[in-house]
Structure 1
Amino acid sequence: MTPAGRADPFPLYTAAHELGPVSAFADGSFLVCGYAAADEVLRDPGFGLAEPVSPNSRQDALQLMNQSMLRANPPDHGRMRSLISKVFTPRRVADLRPAIEAAVNNLLDQLAQATSKGPADFMNQVAFPLPVTVICELLGVPPSDHRRFRPLAADLTEALEPSGNTSARADAAARQLAAYFAPLISDRRASPSNDLVGALVAARDADNGRLTDQELLANLILLLVAGFETTTNLLGNGLAILLDRPDLTTALRTEQIPIPAFIEEVLRYDSPVQAVTRQARADGLTVEGVPIPKGSDLILLIGAANRDPARYPDPDRFEPTRSDIKPLSFGSGPHICIGNKLARLEAAVAFQELLTRLPNMSAVPGRPPLRRDRLILRGFQTLPIQITQRP
């Protein structure tokens, strides 16, 4: 949890694996770093989310997240997720491909123009705006409002960190997002539409109020924030690897390595989500043979599980030709990220176009990338690139 540990947690993960897949802390909580162990906890209905402690009344960001399916246990989790899944379908995601391709090409046009004048920041030019544009398109947010959501979504992600407190900026973001989406919900109720907000409002109203208006609001904002953050980190983490490995760029461009395989290895090697928490909610639970008393808290190191040597040989080597790459980066079991297919589609389109249109991209000497100082969400704040001219 130190700045150095957040910047480079992987040597610590190696040390954790030497202790075993499950380790007990003196306070009665557990650290889970093994792949099979983490997958078992995520899938076992005996483990769930800790009941949220009522935050300070001014902590609007935590109150908002606590009303979403992200922090819900059965039966509330299933009630919320099943209704959202009815309208957030694979078909709806697939239908977004033309919009994603248009957004990628527009952003790459801007990136090409920026790099023609010197180094440019990939995060600012592509990785941040792309998922915001796509999720806003999905939700039915007008293009004129897209830009305002990036800083608000970035600030609100602080509520996903484990500190239990949020800053004034995060709480202000929660209030501003709620103030935006509440009238949008009312508008879709009065004038139905086929975007995700309209579809959710229609499904909610047809289902006898199984989802409250406040829960609908919280989950819409969750989709915005989660859809933005994970994809941004996936894009930045993936490009950073390519800048260090020109051989991979060549292999991807010549289709020796399929882009989907590259994306899965990025998710394994440098997961956008590094940790999640769970709590034992039943008696008699065990993980990898270790007894877990009811009420015990567990920290699941997803980033470490994805580098478990018992699951992946030579786990600290980036190798997209591995067989059976199944990272836990989007979770597993009932809480698996509902937008994981959308994130993968955005990344596939972005890397395909990036490799085609900017073949001479490279890192900028003397300007190293800067990581965001977060524990749960791992990604870059800045990632400078340049276009080098061929001799």
Structure 2
Amino acid sequence: MDAADALTLLMSPQGRIDPYPTYERLRAHGPVVEAGPVFYVVTGYAEADELLRDPRLGVMDAAIRDGLWPGWRDSPAVTSISRSMLRTNPPDHSRMRRLAAGAFSPRRIAGMRGVVAAQAEELVDAMVERGRRGEPVDFLADFAYPLPVGVICALLGVPPEDRPLFRRWAADLTGVLEPEITPDELAVADRGAAELRGYFTDLVRARRRAPADDLTSALVQVHDADGERLSGDELLANLVVLLVAGFETTTNLLGNGLVVLLEHPRAADALRGHPDLAPAYVEELLRYDSPVQLTTRMTTEPVRCGGLDLPAGSWALLLLGAANRDPRRYPEPARFDPWRAQAHPLSFGAGPHYCLGAGLARLEAQVAFPLLLRRLPELALAGRPRRRTRLTLRGYDTLPVTLGTPALVDRGTPAGARPGTP
């Protein structure tokens, strides 16, 4: 199969649901392959890492989009993404990122461990109550979504009663991140974006009248003090992206990771007994089945990578899920091995666009998995979970599980706490 045919297969529903065999078909052509005129596909770890960090490559910003799609501003979904730090290049990207970075500092995130653990315990309690008669519960709806959405909404100052609104809106909006999107799918994404922008427009007004100790209030104050530092469009776009990115990726990490652990009971048993192993497990889960499978970059100058010359104006499709299974980097890459040394997956990217909330996502997963395994030792899949037909953001639509007999609750050791030497 040539590279173009493999890429076509990857974009099909079958290829999106299980992209890993197709990644290997592409990898057979080399770590960087020319799949069309000035279009390159990258499957190699070293090559993807190099291009993500190279200042001669950038994301598709408004100026580039104007040349390719003059009517993009008519789409609320595309506008919401394009006005944010997600789709801007320096100096605008650096300016916007700095304004939000303080809320995601390592010290701030470390201080949230107790809050995350308490929320996770409450969600498990609710799951136990819901499944007390042995009925399956949906892990996504009952845990994997409410945990990260609760955390990011607390940072943004979103009231708890509004949090159930966001799952559908975000799922609709993120369709615009796919490498291919139909007009019908774009219309759905536009509806989700319009709902989110409307919600945050109201929240901005409320925080302007009554500021609070949250990130929304801080960004509103920056905008009101100096619109050059943060315009009105940028304010709304970044609030939308911070919310969506703050839970969508983590929800997928929790869902993908739980399935992997339940399919590897010996590894799950080891983590249950030694929760201090959680950081290594989370890195391997990110590598093994990444919640983010791809990103794109465009060369602004000629670049040589993977033995090929990429002219200025070339597009690079960086398949992060393939890079995370590069056998040159990871021996036996298709094997789940939480004892790998220095996994360092590319699931959160690298370079200037490295995910701002990566530390928070890691913390939530490091707390959640040992807690779930400890509290629910008989946790099991209830049938086959259903995958979303998405490639960029890889996850499940539903994930039914049975809980079995819960363990006796011991509140003495907080979830995710490091025990003594086993």
The TM-score bracket by the shorter chain reads: over 0.9
User: Gapped runs of 5+ residues in structure 1?
Assistant: none
* Equivalent residue, structure 1, for 2:124: 108
* Equivalent residue, structure 1, for 2:149: 132
Rounded Cα–Cα distance in structure 2 between residues aligned with 1:102 and 1:207: 38
User: Gapped runs of 5+ residues in structure 2?
Assistant: 1-10, 407-422
Rounded Cα–Cα distance in structure 2 between residues aligned with 1:387 and 1:219: 38
Query: 1:58 Cα shift?
Result: 4.4
* Equivalent residue, structure 2, for 1:155: 172
Residues 59-104 of structure 1 show CA distances to partners (whole Å, capped at 9, x for unaligned) of 2111111101111112211121122224443333333333322321
Q: Which of 381, 385, 388 is the matching residue for 1:372?
A: 388
**Aligned partner of 1:158: which letter?**
G
TM-score, structure 2 as length reference:
0.87
Contact kept, 8 Å, 1:330 with 1:340, in 2: the verdict is yes
**Aligned partner of 1:130: which letter?**
L
Query: 1:257 Cα shift?
Result: 7.0
Tell me whether 82-91 or 307-316 shows the greater mean CA deviation: 82-91
* Equivalent residue, structure 2, for 1:200: 219
- Change in Cα spacing, 1:318 to 1:70, as seen in structure 2 (3 Å) is same
* Equivalent residue, structure 1, for 2:254: 235
Contact kept, 8 Å, 1:330 with 1:337, in 2: the verdict is yes
Residues 140-195 of structure 1 show CA distances to partners (whole Å, capped at 9, x for unaligned) of 11111111122111211112112255433321221121111123223323332211
* Equivalent residue, structure 2, for 1:49: 59
Rounded Cα–Cα distance in structure 1 between residues aligned with 2:389 and 2:13: 7
Query: 1:197 Cα shift?
Result: 0.8
Q: Which of 316, 320, 335 is the matching residue for 1:298?
A: 316
1:5 aligns with 2:15: yes
**What number of residue pairs does the alignment pair up?**
387
**Aligned partner of 2:386: which letter?**
L
Contact kept, 8 Å, 1:188 with 1:198, in 2: the verdict is yes
Q: Which of 18, 28, 36 is the matching residue for 2:28?
A: 18
**Aligned partner of 1:375: which letter?**
L
Query: 1:12 Cα shift?
Result: 1.5
Q: Secondary structure at the match of 2:55?
A: coil
Contact kept, 8 Å, 2:136 with 2:402, in 1: the verdict is yes
**Aligned partner of 2:174: which letter?**
T
* Equivalent residue, structure 2, for 1:265: 284
* Equivalent residue, structure 2, for 1:68: 84
Query: 1:254 Cα shift?
Result: 1.5
Rounded Cα–Cα distance in structure 2 between residues aligned with 1:163 and 1:130: 30
Query: 1:6 Cα shift?
Result: 1.1
Contact kept, 8 Å, 1:251 with 1:257, in 2: the verdict is no
Rounded Cα–Cα distance in structure 2 between residues aligned with 1:58 and 1:105: 44
Residues 287-307 of structure 1 show CA distances to partners (whole Å, capped at 9, x for unaligned) of 133211000111000000000
Residues 116-136 of structure 1 show CA distances to partners (whole Å, capped at 9, x for unaligned) of 221111112111222111111
Contact kept, 8 Å, 1:88 with 1:196, in 2: the verdict is no
Instruction: Give the aligned CA root-mean-square deviation in angstroms.
Output: 1.8
Contact kept, 8 Å, 1:268 with 1:303, in 2: the verdict is yes
Query: 1:351 Cα shift?
Result: 1.1
Q: Secondary structure at the match of 2:290?
A: coil
Contact kept, 8 Å, 2:376 with 2:404, in 1: the verdict is no
Rounded Cα–Cα distance in structure 1 between residues aligned with 2:345 and 2:269: 24
* Equivalent residue, structure 1, for 2:38: 28
Tell me whether 24-33 or 83-92 shows the greater mean CA deviation: 83-92
- Change in Cα spacing, 1:25 to 1:64, as seen in structure 2 (3 Å) is same
Rounded Cα–Cα distance in structure 2 between residues aligned with 1:339 and 1:55: 31
1:91 aligns with 2:91: no
- Change in Cα spacing, 1:279 to 1:141, as seen in structure 2 (3 Å) is same
Identical-residue share of aligned pairs (%): 50
